[in-house]
């Protein structure tokens, strides 16, 4: 499965995307889902780099994007911490979901799908997924 544990987090890295982007996305998900508590310290750049067998610069790149997102706060000499603002995390989650939804709909419409057809596709897939596994297809 090529999974790597670091602290309470689990990462899956491959070569299909930039490494820093994969780290970034998986950190965003962990924060959005509350898998890391608000205000909690995340692994240091060097610790993360060592655990993921990746260059510290690459981890640093991802961490700086997280701060640009407003999801983390960095304290010089101390480390990087998840923001304490629950509102900020919720807002980010909403905005990202909104972007994903808009992109998805735009692409479906570029193939000639109508709103009703898109809704029907989603509903069909939901029923397919919830029949097989009880976890809603998440895992």
Q: Which residues bind its own copies (CB under 8 A)?
A: 25, 28-29, 32-34, 93, 96-97, 100-102, 104-105, 107-115, 118-119, 121-123, 125-126, 129-130, 136-138
d(CA 108, CA 118): 7
Neighbours of 48 (CB within 10 A): 25
Binding string, residues 1-40; x marks residues near DNA by CB under 7 A: -----------------xxxx-------------------
Q: Give yes or no for a contact between 45 and 57, defined as CB atoms under 8 angstroms apart.
A: no
> Which residue's CB is nearer to DNA, number 60 or number 85?
60
Q: If binding is defined by CB under 7 A, does position 75 make contact with DNA?
A: yes
Q: Which stretch binds DNA (CB under 7 A): 26-34, 73-81, 89-97, 131-139?
A: 73-81
The interface partner of residue 54, options being its own copies, DNA, none and the CB cut-off 5 to 8 Å by kind, is DNA
Give the binding site for DNA (CB under 7 A).
18-21, 44-47, 53-58, 60-61, 63-64, 67, 74-80
């Amino acid at each position: 499965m090529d999974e790597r544990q670091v602290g309470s987090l689990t990462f899956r890295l491959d070569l299909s995307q930039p490494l820093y982007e994969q780290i970034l996305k998986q950190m965003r998900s962990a924060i959005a889902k509350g898998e890391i508590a608000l205000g909690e310290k995340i692994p240091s750049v060097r610790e993360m780099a060592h655990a993921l067998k990746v260059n510290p610069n690459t981890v640093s790149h991802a961490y700086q994007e997280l701060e640009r997102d407003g999801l983390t706060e960095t304290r010089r000499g101390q480390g990087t911490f998840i923001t304490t603002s629950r509102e900020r995390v919720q807002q980010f989650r909403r905005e990202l979901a909104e972007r994903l939804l808009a992109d998805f709909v735009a692409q479906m419409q570029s193939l000639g799908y109508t709103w009703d057809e898109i809704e029907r596709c989603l509903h069909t897939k939901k029923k397919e997924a919830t029949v097989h596994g009880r976890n809603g297809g998440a895992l």
